[in-house]
Amino acid sequence: MSAETTNYLQLVADSFTGYGNYLLREVLHPSWGSYFYWLVAISLGFWVLELVWPWRRDQGAFRKDFWLDVFYMFFNYFLFSLILYNALSNVFVQLFKDGLGLVGIQNLVAVEIGDWPLWARLLTLFVVRDFIQWNVHRLLHRVDWLWAFHQVHHSVEEMGFAAHLRYHPVETVVYRLFEYLPLALIGFGLTDFFLVHLFTLSVGHFNHANLYAPLGPLKYVFNNPQTHLWHHAQELPRARRNGVNFALTLTVWDYLFGTAYVPTEQADLPLGWPGVAQYPATFVAQQLEPFSQLKPKKAAAPLPERARARAAGATPQPAEE
Ligand SMILES: [Zn+2]
Ligand SMILES: [Zn+2]
């Protein structure tokens, strides 16, 4: 085994032990800097709000798939993002830097923002990252194999705050791959934005929550439940069949680029796609489903517009990619 391979393996091992210890510390020692307890606190906060002021009044406290989504929350946000994925991305970043070193590039930072005030750094990080994520989200809807993975998130039939983090971990990999290079160019590490993380986590919980809070004029800036529900709508008009409201945190991009669509504030929109009831219902089955759709023999998962066209009896249109 070459010295380099040993180094990479060591990096994986160190990352696992490092984050394993980190996980233990987070859970055993509650503190203001603990992701774990912030996730618990923010989630409980939105759950209480949903119970006190529900938008859909007939939706139970433990709506359909509540516990499945709670499991996804901890798996995706905590276990996968912080532990498993970090081990892999440490190796990726090292490989990337080693590769750059081979061609004589030692430092990737093109814009030095280390001297800026903290608020300006955080704001820049947040806005740049949100715009990248908006683009990646559009890609998840447009490319067949990416849609197969993103479909896990769209399999939510009853919406609530916890649905925010129901997604396939492959999505994390895709988002981070697209985020890494631009953020590295402006001198950000992927680990140093705790506050931005907590803010986007809260807005994400908010826009999936069973709450009526359309935000007035602020709806042009921030995502909200009345806007995001249309992103999950089962039926959209033909002209909108490529999807609407791709915002994660900022709705600005949808309004700027013409993908914003909130015709009514409709609480009981049917969600998902026409065949959503047949989608696998358990965590493990949902993890495997996208891979089974990648097999060439079986037809790819229908993009929402194709499914809609089929349901309407029309000839499916080729995807616009
Ligand atoms: Zn989506
Ligand atoms: Zn969503």
* Interval between CA 295 and ligand 2 midpoint (Å): 26
* Interval between CA 283 and ligand 2 midpoint (Å): 17
Report the pLDDT value the prediction gives residue 309, as an integer from 0 to 100: 46
Residue type, position 119, single letter:
W
Closest C-alpha among 59, 62, 40 to residue 212: 59
Q: Tell me the per-residue pLDDT of 142-178, one tens digit each, with 9 for 90 and over.
A: 999 999 999 999 999 999 999 999 999 999 889 888 8
Instruction: Provide the pLDDT confidence category of residue 263 given band limits of 50, 70 and 90.
Output: very high
Residue 261, classed as helix, strand or coil, is coil
* Interval between CA 261 and ligand 2 midpoint (Å): 15
Closest C-alpha among 266, 182, 276, 172 to residue 227: 266
* Interval between CA 7 and ligand 2 midpoint (Å): 39
* Interval between CA 230 and ligand 1 midpoint (Å): 10
* Interval between CA 50 and ligand 1 midpoint (Å): 22
Q: Mind giving me the DSSP string for 182-205?
A: HHHHTT--SSS-HHHHHHHHHHHH
Instruction: Provide the pLDDT confidence category of residue 314 given band limits of 50, 70 and 90.
Output: very low
**What mean pLDDT is predicted for residues 2-24?**
71
Q: Which residue has the tokens 């358990």?
A: 282
Instruction: Provide the pLDDT confidence category of residue 184 given band limits of 50, 70 and 90.
Output: confident
Instruction: Provide the pLDDT confidence category of residue 197 given band limits of 50, 70 and 90.
Output: confident
Q: Nearest ligand, CA of residue 171?
A: 1
**What mean pLDDT is predicted for residues 249-255?**
97
Strand residue runs (E) in 119-271: none
Q: Element (H or E) spanning 172, and its range?
A: helix 169-185
Q: Nearest ligand, CA of residue 133?
A: 1
* Interval between CA 105 and ligand 1 midpoint (Å): 37
Q: Nearest ligand, CA of residue 228?
A: 2
Q: Judge whether residue 72 has pLDDT over 60.
A: yes
Indicate the domain borders of the chain. 3-311
* Interval between CA 230 and ligand 2 midpoint (Å): 9
Distance CA 237, CA 240 (A): 5
Q: CA of 252: how far to CAs of 60, 142, 195, in Å?
A: 33, 21, 21
